[in-house]
Amino acid sequence: MTVSNLNPSLASRAKQLVSTSGVLIGIVALFIFFSLASPFFFDPNNFLIIGRQTVLLMVAAFAMTFLILLGDIDLSIGAVTSLIGILVAMSLRDGVPLPIAILIALTSGGLIGLMNGLISVKGRVHSFIVTLGMASIARGVAITVTNNIAISVTNPTFLRLFAQAEPLGISIAVWYVAVLFILLHTLLTRSRFGREIYAVGGNAKAARLSGIPADVIKLRAFTLAGVVVGIGALLQTARIGTGFVEGARNLELDAIAAVVLGGTSFTGGRGALWRTVLGALLIGILNNGLTLLNVLSYYQLIIKGGIVILAVLLDRWTH
């Protein structure tokens, strides 16, 4: 494991470069490629579109980052985001005041996250299985309460507050996500809770022996991730103007892809939130560029999947 500092081989230097800035290299490469390949890509308006398209993914990926840092995962993010969107749409339709509807979104997200965490921690079941089950439950509930019919949101304040407003010409969703990033990034890097997340994710046994209550840390992280998912659901519902069963289909997969592409270790303990921002940007640019090049969406899926697998292999190789 010792890296010789005196005369690093080419391979180890390459590894260093990929591990610290692989995702940046990827973004720059895609940026140059799409700028040359499509006349519509290099355009400030297109950049704003990419930003708007990417922020929803970023919110989900932030939640996912906290869990992946712990060596956990949440496969229910897509289904839960859709379900919370439906709850919000129904509440507003039935005349529930806006602040209460927002509160419903955040608490239901937090409660579902806490439930995932409790089952996983107390039942000693890996979150992969727990959240896979929760995804199915959330989807089932969503279909039951809506009869699979989309519910439109017409409350103008809600739409303006979470989607349509553009302070300084930039979508309000981007502002929310920027603030959320600063808060969560501070939490991870500057707070005791953040440090404990890294410790538990890196070696739960050693963390416990250092007096860190690993189970409590996990429960808190699951709950926090759930609240973040609730925020994502508000932005998502306002953007598409409806709550429906397929509202955020497969969002968890893109979120996992963003985290992993950013270079956060899938086994926990190593990674950062800014990496997730870059990973999500990479996916956003890829989606946008391929669409501008008129690549069919199935091919987009194949390309995206290939890139994610490549990123994991690179992570293996560099560590």
CB of 241 to another protein, least distance (A): 37
- Give the nearer residue to another protein in terms of CB position, either 15 or 270: 270
Residues 261-290 that bind another protein (CB under 8 A): 265, 269-270
> If you search the block for the tokens 């996912």, which residue do you land on?
64
250: left (phi over 0), alpha (psi -120 to 50) or beta: left
* The one-letter amino acid at 87: L
CB of 224 to another protein, least distance (A): 13
Give the Cα separation of 249 and 211 in Å (integer).
40
CB of 205 to another protein, least distance (A): 5
Give the Cα separation of 127 and 164 in Å (integer).
36
Considering CB under 8 A, how many residues would be counted as binding another protein?
27
Nearest Cα neighbor of 82 from 301, 234, 253 is: 234
Q: Note whether 151 and 244 are within 8 A (CB).
A: yes
CB of 258 to another protein, least distance (A): 21
- Give the nearer residue to another protein in terms of CB position, either 155 or 265: 265
Q: For another protein, which stretch binds (CB under 8 A), given 1-9, 61-69, 98-106, 272-280?
A: 1-9
CB of 191 to another protein, least distance (A): 5
* The one-letter amino acid at 146: T
What are the φ and ψ backbone dihedral angles of 242, each rounded to 5 degrees? -145, 155
Residues 187-226 that bind another protein (CB under 8 A): 190-193, 195-196, 198-199, 202-203, 205-213
Nearest Cα neighbor of 225 from 52, 81, 88 is: 81
Could you count the other beta carbons within 10 Å of the beta carbon of residue 72? 25
122 sits near another protein (criterion: CB under 8 A) = no
- Give the nearer residue to another protein in terms of CB position, either 299 or 317: 317
Give the Cα separation of 319 and 301 in Å (integer).
28
- Give the nearer residue to another protein in terms of CB position, either 103 or 187: 187
Q: Note whether 152 and 241 are within 8 A (CB).
A: yes
- Give the nearer residue to another protein in terms of CB position, either 254 or 315: 315
Q: Which one of residues 3, 36, 129, 309 is an interface residue with another protein (CB under 8 A)?
A: 3
Q: Which residues bind another protein (CB under 8 A)?
A: 1-3, 5, 186, 190-193, 195-196, 198-199, 202-203, 205-213, 265, 269-270
